[in-house]
Structure 1
Amino acid sequence: FLGVHLVNGTNEVNHIKDAVEVIGQAFTRLLAKESISNPPTECKDTDSWYHGDKVYEALIETKLNGETGQVSFSQEGDRLNPMYEIININSNQRAMSVGLFGDKDKVLGLRMMVTNLTWPGNVFVKPKGEKISRDLRIVTLKEKPFVEITRLPKDGQCRPIHPAVHAFPCKNGTQDYCCMGYCMDMLAKIAEKVQFNFTIHLSKDGMFGTFEKHNGSEKKYWNGMMGELMSKEVDLIVAPLTINPERAKDIDFTKPFKYQGLNILVKKNQKDSSLGSFLQPFQDTLWILVGLSVHVVALVLYLLDRFSPFGRFKLAKSDDAEEDALNLSSAMWFSWGVLLNSGIGEGTPRSFSARVLGMVWAGFAMIIVASYTANLAAFLVLDRPEAHISGIDDPRLRNPNEKFKYATVKGSAVEMYFKNQVELSTMYRNMEKQKQYLTAEAAIEDIRKGELQAFIWDSPRLEYEAAHDCDLTTAGDLFGRSGLGIGLQKNSPWTHEVSMAVLDMHESGFMEQLDNRWIRVDSRSSCPESNSAPATLGLTNMAGVFMMVAGGIVAGVLLIFIEIAYKRHRGLKEKELELARNAADRWRGNIEKRRTLRQTLQKQREELKKPNSVSKQPSPSSMHATTPTTNANSLMVNLESNNTKPISPFYRRPSLLEATTNSDCLPPPLPMGYQPPGYVPARSGRTVTWHNPSHNPDHLV
C-alpha cells in the first residue's frame, strides 16, 4: 500500500508561524500604499468590505521561506510547491516514509527508495509489471444514429459528410466499411483527450450481448459484443450499450455519455379512404339483408296486387288497365325507388293489401336512409385516426389481441428489462410468442409495412426515426430510464481516463452538440400538419361512389347488348310462330273446302238418284265442270256410296281420289282441248290416280 502525506502537515506551530508571517508582510505592503477601512463587524451585515479584494491580492502575492518550507499561493489561494512524503505500509503494518514528491528548484520530481518498498504479497522484489498498449481494439455495431456504416470507397479513404463529422474505416469480417455517427464523433474526441490509437470492427453476430447457455452446455456465456469483450478480443465497446446490473457484474462502464429511456414507436394512422368507404356505415350482413329485403318486398307486392280482387289484374280488361298493371318489373322498380327516395311515376300497387306493405316499406326505407346518412357523416367527415398508444400501461400492450403485435430486439438490454420486471413479465411472454427481431432496422421496417404495430426500443433511436419519417411517431412517456456507456474490460486501466474524458465533454457542451447534430434533426418541416378540425370530403372519400356509377354505366351498356340479342332471338321465334299460324290457317281452309266438297258431292248423288236425271248423260265438259278443282294443297275425297250409277262410259268405280306433291308428274299427252271424263286437272307437283275402263284399272298419271 502506498500513500502520500504533506511534509510538516501535522506541525501546527510552524504553520501558524508561517501564516502570521504572510499576513504581516501583506498588510505592511498594503498600508504603505494606502489606508484601509475597517471591515464589517456585525454578523448581520451584508455589505462587502471595500478593501477586501485588495487585502486578498496582497496575501496571495506574498512569498517567503518559512518554517514549513517555501510558501507561495496560486490565484485561487492554494499553496504552491508543496512537498509530500511517500508512505508505504510494510509487513508489520507500520507506515514508513520511502520517498518525497514535490517541487525542487521549480521542477516537479519524485524521489523514492524502491529497495525499501514492500510490494503486494509482502514481497520486496519489484514485479515485472505489464506494459499498457495505446493501440486499442474497438468493437461496434450498426445502430442509427449512433453508428452508421457505408461501403468503403475504392481508394480506401473514408470521406465524412460534413467537416465536423468523423468517419473511420471498420471491418465486418472481410468486408470494409466506413463508420460514422454519434459514437464515432465521440470516439474521436476521447482518443484526442486520452491519447490512444484505435482500430474498429463490427460485431460478428450483430448483437449487443446476452448471458445465456450455448450449444446445450449448462454454463452460461455472453454473446455479441459482450462476448468479444469478455474473451479479451477487444478493449472497448463504443456503441449505444445500455448500462444495467447484469452487464456491470462482468465489465466496466464509463460514466454515461447519454441518459435515455425506453419508448414505443408506432405508425401514424392514416385517414386514407378505400373505394368501399361509403359502405362503412353498415356491416356486410346488414347490406346483404337490405338488398335481400328489396327483392322480397318487390315479389310480395307483385303477388298481393296480382291475386287481390282489387288489383289491376282483376279489373275489366282494357288497354289502360293492362298498361298500368303492377308486373314484377314494375314492383322491383317501385321497391328500389322507395328505398332510394326517387320519384315513382308508374307501376304503383292498387290493392289495399299491397299499399299497406308499400307504406311499411317506405317507413323502413326512411329509417335505413337516415341511419346511413348519420353514420356516413361520422365515418367520412368526423372520422379521426385511432388514438395512438398512450404508453407502456396501454391495454393494447397489456392484453393484446391476435392482430396487435409488438416486439423488441432479441438479446438486447430492453428484452432483459422486460424479463426482469415482474409487472412486465406478461408482455415479455407475449413478445416471445411473436416474430423475433435481431436488429432494430428489421423491426422498424415492419412498422412501416404495417406488419408490426409497436416497437419498444431506446428513445434516442426512436426519436431519430420519427424525425426522419413523417409516417412514424413515438407514443407515451419514457419509462425504464437508464444510461448509455462505453464498455471496457473488468479493471481496465483505461476506465478512469475515458470516464474523465466523457465528463469533460459533458461539461464543455460537446455532447449537446452531438445530440443536435445526430439525434435532434428536425426533418418534419415537409410533413403535413395534423389538424383536428373536421376534414373536407375529397375524391379519395367518395371514389367508391364514382366507381359505382361507372359500374352502373358499364352494366347498362352490357344489358343493352343482351336486350338486342334477346330481341333478335325473339323475332326469329315470332317469325316461326307466324309461319306456323299461317300453315294452320291454310290447313283449316283446306278442311273447310273438303267439307264443302263433300256437301257438293252429296247433293250430286241426291240429284242422280232422281228418275228424271238418269237418262241424262252429262257431256265431258259438264262432267268436268261438276268435278271440283283442288288447290295447291293436298286433297282427299272419300266416295262413300257404292250404288251410284255411272254418268258416262268412263265413269270410275268408287275409289279414293288422292293428290300428292310431285313436280316430276305431268298429265298424259292428249288432243288439244280434250279432257277425258273423270279427269281432274292437276297442277304442277300433283299426281292423280283415276280409273278408266279403256285403260289399265289403275293408271298413274
Structure 2
Amino acid sequence: MDIEGRMILNRFQSKADDITIERVINYPSGSQDYVPYLQQLSSLQARVVLLSATEEDADHIFRDAEALNLTGEGYAWIVSEQALTSAYVPEGTLGLKLSYGTNEKDHLADCVSLIKQTVTDLFNGTLTQISDTPNSCKSTSSFWQAGNAILKALLNAKLEKGRTGQIAFDSAGDRLNPVYFFQNIQVVNGRKSAENIGFYGNPKVISNALEIDESKIIWPGKKTTRPSGINISTELKIVTLESVPFVYTRKMTESDACNWDRNERLCPLVNETTGIKEDYCCWGYCIDMLIQIADMVNFTYSIHLGSSGEFGSYKKVNKTGEKKWNGVIAELISKDADMIVAPLTINPERAGHIDFSKPFKYQGLTILVKKTATESKLDSFLQPFEDTLWILVALSVHVVALVLYLLDRFSPFGRFKLAKNNDTEEDALNLSSAMWFAWGVLLNSGIGEGTPRSFSARVLGMVWAGFAMIIVASYTANLAAFLVLDRPEASITGIDDARLRNPNEDFKYATVRNSAVEMYFKRQVELSTMYRQMEPRNYRTAEEAIKDIVNMKLQAFIWDSSRLEYEAGQNCELITVGDLFGRSGLGVGLQKKSPWTSKISMAILKLHEKGNMEDLDNKWILEGRNDCPEKDTTPATLGLTNMASVFLMVAGGIIAGIILIVIEIAYKRHRGLKDKELELARNAADRWRGNIEKRRTLRQTLQRQREEQERLAGLATKKPPVEGNGSALGRGLGPNGGQGNGYGLSMDHTPPRVGHRLSYTEATGGLMYSPPSYRNVTHSATINNPVYSDKSTEDNFV
C-alpha cells in the first residue's frame, strides 16, 4: 500500500464512524498476478471495494477482478484518481478527480507563485539568511535551522486567485477547499467515459460541500439502483428459545417428524454441557410470524434452539473489567446466528450491540401471583367477633342468668314468695329456667315460660334484651361483611407495594436471570433494593418460576405482560396484579448493521397493517383461555363451604342430643330401679301401717265386745251360771252400719292370747275366733257382724 492508500485508510478509520472496514488487503506494487489477493474479496460479506493503485497496477487488478467475477452486479468500486484512468476500469466504477488535476502547467504556475510569495514574506521578516540543508534526512546529528520557519511560512501562505483556484493549506499540509469531481465510468456508444455526477468542495465558500446526482450513476451490471454493498445470504440461521405461547417445543422420537401442516419446524438443540445434538420441533406465535416474513422477504432459514436457554445479559467475565454478552445475544454478536426470533425485549443495552426490527408486539412488565381465595374454615361463623368477645358474651349469659335467679328468688314479689299462694298459677323461676331465659333472649327465640316475675329481675331482663339486640345486630352485619362482601385480596397491589419494596423472608419474588427484566431492575436506581432481593432467587426459565407460583413456593413472579396474561388465562388460580410498568416492545434481533434489518421491519409493519399480527394474538394468546370468573363484578353468593361450620354446629347439636338422650335413658333406668325399691319399701311401710291400723281397730272392737259381754255377764249373774262355758247374746255393728244379734261363747272373760286366730268368714259375714288347742281340743267362736271387718287374707296378731 502506497502513501496515498494509507492516507485514505486513515481518513476512513477516523472520520467514518458508521462505516465498518471488514478487511484491509495489502498487495505488492508491480506484480503481474493479483488473483490470490482478490480471492479474499469473494469470501467477505462486504461488496464495496476501495482501491488505491497506480495506473499500471490498476490494469492488472481490474483484469484479474473481472476474471473472478468481482466487478459485476452487487459490487461497488471506488478508486483513486490514478486508477480511474486505467484502460481496464470496469463500467460503474466511481472515483474522484481533482479540478484542474491534469493541467500540470497551471499547477506548476500556482506552485511557483506560492513559493515566491512565501520566500518574499520570509526575508521581509525575521529570517535574514538560509543555512545549508543537511546531506541526509536519516542523520539525527544535523538539524536544518531554517526548515521549520520555511514549513510554517508555506502552511500559512495563501494564494487567492491561482490558476487552479484558491490555494491554502491546513496544519497537516492538505489543501483547503479543493474542488473534486465525482466521476462514474459509463459506456457511451461503445466507449468508456468518465461522467461527472457531482463534486466535493466549493471554492466560493470556506466550508466544504458535497453534491451528488445519484440518478446519473450507472452501477456495475448496468443497474440504476444502488447495490446494498454487502453480500446478503438468503440462507439465514435463526436462533430461538422456548417461551410459551410464542415458541413451543417438543422432543422428537426416532419415528417422529415435525408436522408442517401445524407449522412445526425442526429446531435442534446442542447440549451446552455434553455437546450432544437433540432434535426438537418448534411452533407457536413467533414461528408463524417467521414463516410469513420469510415468504414476504424471500429468504430461507434453519432454526436451532439456544444452548444456554437464556436471552442474554451484559456481564463481567472472570472478575475482569471486560464485559461480554451471554445467551442467544452472544450467538448473534459472534455471528453464529443471523437472527433471533423469540419474545426478545427491546432495551437500550441490547440496542447498543445488536439491531432490532420494528416491534411486532407492544407490552410491559407485570406481576403474576396466585389467587388468595377466601378459606372457609370450620369456625368461619365465629370470625365476626374476636375470641375475647365470644368468651365475654358466653360469660355474660351465665352471669345474667344467675343474677336473674337470685333477684327473683329473694324478691318479695318473686315466684318463690308467691308460690305459697294457691291463687298463683306460675311456677317459681329456678336456676335452669333463668339460664333458658338468658339464652333464649340472646338467640332471639320465643320464651314461653320461666320469665322473671319480680320488677327488679324484669328490669335486668329488659337490659339484657337490649344487650342481645346490639350483639346480634353487630354479629349479623359483620358476618355479611365476612361472608358476602369480602373479596379475596391479592397478595400484592403492584410494583409499589410495600411487600416488594420492603420484603420479608416469608415473601419471595423473582424474575428470570440474564433477561431484559433483570437488566431493567438493575439500571433503575429506585428499584435497586428489589434487584438485590431478587438476584439470588432468579430462575433460569419462566416455566420454572410459574410452576413455583402454582405450588406456592414463590409468592410473586415479575415478567413480560403478554406471557403472564396468557398464563393467567390458562390457569384460573393465577392472576396478574397492578398496572403495567417498564413498557417496551418485542422485536426480532439481528446482527449490527445487518442488511436484513430494514426488510424485516418493513415486513412486520405490513403484517400489522394487514391485521396478521392481530390474528396471531387471537390464535396463540387469546384463544383457549379458560372462562375464569370476573373479580369484583357481583356480590359473592354464600355456598356450602361458607356455611359448612353452621351445619356442622347443627350436626353437633344433634349428636349431643342423641348422646344426652342415651345418658338420660341410662340415668332413668338407674333411677327407676331406685324408685322401684323405694316404692316397694313405701308399699311395705304402708302395708305395715295398714296392718297396725287393722290390729288397733280389731282391739278396739274386741274391747267393746268384751265390755258388752261383761255387761251381759253382769245381767246373767241373776241366773245360775253354767260351769266351764256359757253363751251370751251379743249385739254388733255390721260393715254397712246395720245391727245384728248373735251368740258368742264365754271364754272366762279372757282376751285372746298369743296364738289365737281371728278370721273373716265370707259365709257368715263375721269374724271367726280360733283359740289355741289345749289337749287336742279345738275351740272356736264366731263373731257375727263385727264392727270392723276386713276381706283380706288371714292376719296373725299379738
Q: TM-score, normalised on structure 1?
A: 0.59
Residue by residue over 1:97-120, the C-alpha shift from the partner in whole angstroms, topping out at 9 and shown as x without a partner, is xxxxx34699999xxxxxxxxxxx
Check if 1:441 corresponds to 2:543.
yes
Residue by residue over 1:325-358, the C-alpha shift from the partner in whole angstroms, topping out at 9 and shown as x without a partner, is 2223222221122112232121012234432322
| Corresponding residue for residue 218 of structure 2 | 82
Distance in 1, matches of 2:315 and 2:695, equals 116
Q: Offset at 1:552?
A: 4.1
Check if 1:286 corresponds to 2:389.
yes
Distance in 1, matches of 2:355 and 2:599, equals 13
Residue by residue over 1:390-444, the C-alpha shift from the partner in whole angstroms, topping out at 9 and shown as x without a partner, is 54223453345777554323453323432442211233344468x6544323433
| Corresponding residue for residue 566 of structure 2 | 464
Check if 1:455 corresponds to 2:553.
no
| Corresponding residue for residue 348 of structure 1 | 451
Equivalent runs, 1:108-187 vs 2, <5 Å = 140-152=240-252, 155-160=255-260, 162=262, 165-171=263-269, 176-187=279-290
Q: Offset at 1:145?
A: 1.5
1:297 to 400, 412, 416: 400
Check if 1:200 corresponds to 2:304.
yes
Q: Offset at 1:286?
A: 2.6
Distance in 2, matches of 1:12 and 1:231, equals 44
Residue by residue over 1:545-578, the C-alpha shift from the partner in whole angstroms, topping out at 9 and shown as x without a partner, is 5554455445444444443333233222322333
| Corresponding residue for residue 576 of structure 1 | 677
The answer as to whether partners of 1:389 and 1:475 remain within 8 angstroms in 2 is: yes
The answer as to whether partners of 1:145 and 1:464 remain within 8 angstroms in 2 is: yes
1:479 to 581, 584, 587: 581
Distance in 2, matches of 1:103 and 1:409, equals 51
The answer as to whether partners of 1:152 and 1:169 remain within 8 angstroms in 2 is: no
The answer as to whether partners of 1:207 and 1:223 remain within 8 angstroms in 2 is: no
Distance in 1, matches of 2:226 and 2:464, equals 108
> Greater CA deviation, 344-353 or 410-419?
410-419
Distance in 2, matches of 1:229 and 1:467, equals 33
Counterparts in 2 of 1:557 and 1:202: CA distance versus 1, 3 Å: farther
The answer as to whether partners of 2:358 and 2:604 remain within 8 angstroms in 1 is: no
| Corresponding residue for residue 513 of structure 1 | 612
Q: Which amino acid aligns with 1:79?
A: S
Larger gyration radius, structure 1 or structure 2:
2
The answer as to whether partners of 2:570 and 2:626 remain within 8 angstroms in 1 is: no
Q: Which amino acid aligns with 2:242?
A: K
Residue by residue over 1:191-242, the C-alpha shift from the partner in whole angstroms, topping out at 9 and shown as x without a partner, is 66574653524545x444567799xx75699897359749979536543344
Identity of aligned residues (%): 57
| Corresponding residue for residue 312 of structure 1 | 415
Q: Which amino acid aligns with 1:572?
A: L
| Corresponding residue for residue 754 of structure 2 | 627
Distance in 2, matches of 1:574 and 1:381, equals 56
Which runs of no fewer than 5 residues in structure 2 stay unpaired? 1-8, 10-48, 51-77, 80-92, 101-187, 198-212, 698-723, 725-746, 758-773, 780-798
Cα root mean square deviation, aligned? 6.1
Distance in 2, matches of 1:70 and 1:486, equals 42
The answer as to whether partners of 1:209 and 1:222 remain within 8 angstroms in 2 is: no
Higher relative contact order (CA 8 A, sep 6+): 1
Distance in 1, matches of 2:555 and 2:677, equals 70
Counterparts in 2 of 1:482 and 1:227: CA distance versus 1, 3 Å: closer
Counterparts in 2 of 1:362 and 1:578: CA distance versus 1, 3 Å: same
Check if 1:371 corresponds to 2:474.
yes
| Corresponding residue for residue 465 of structure 2 | 362
The answer as to whether partners of 1:242 and 1:485 remain within 8 angstroms in 2 is: yes
Distance in 1, matches of 2:223 and 2:342, equals 47
Distance in 2, matches of 1:374 and 1:105, equals 86
| Corresponding residue for residue 434 of structure 2 | 331
Q: Offset at 1:253?
A: 4.8
Q: Which amino acid aligns with 1:461?
A: R
Distance in 2, matches of 1:344 and 1:479, equals 64
Distance in 1, matches of 2:685 and 2:533, equals 86
Q: Offset at 1:364?
A: 0.8
Distance in 1, matches of 2:424 and 2:261, equals 89
Distance in 2, matches of 1:534 and 1:281, equals 18
Counterparts in 2 of 1:211 and 1:7: CA distance versus 1, 3 Å: closer
Counterparts in 2 of 1:479 and 1:536: CA distance versus 1, 3 Å: closer
The answer as to whether partners of 1:158 and 1:167 remain within 8 angstroms in 2 is: yes
Distance in 2, matches of 1:380 and 1:403, equals 27
Equivalent runs, 1:612-651 vs 2, <5 Å = 626-627=753-754
Distance in 2, matches of 1:381 and 1:82, equals 81
Distance in 1, matches of 2:423 and 2:501, equals 73
| Corresponding residue for residue 682 of structure 1 | none
Distance in 2, matches of 1:288 and 1:523, equals 52
1:503 to 583, 601, 605: 601
Equivalent runs, 1:587-666 vs 2, <5 Å = 626-627=753-754
The answer as to whether partners of 1:261 and 1:482 remain within 8 angstroms in 2 is: yes
Q: Which amino acid aligns with 1:200?
A: H
Distance in 1, matches of 2:608 and 2:535, equals 40
Distance in 2, matches of 1:174 and 1:673, equals 137
Q: Secondary structure at the match of 1:456?
A: strand
The answer as to whether partners of 1:418 and 1:428 remain within 8 angstroms in 2 is: yes
Q: Offset at 1:304?
A: 3.4
Distance in 1, matches of 2:674 and 2:278, equals 83
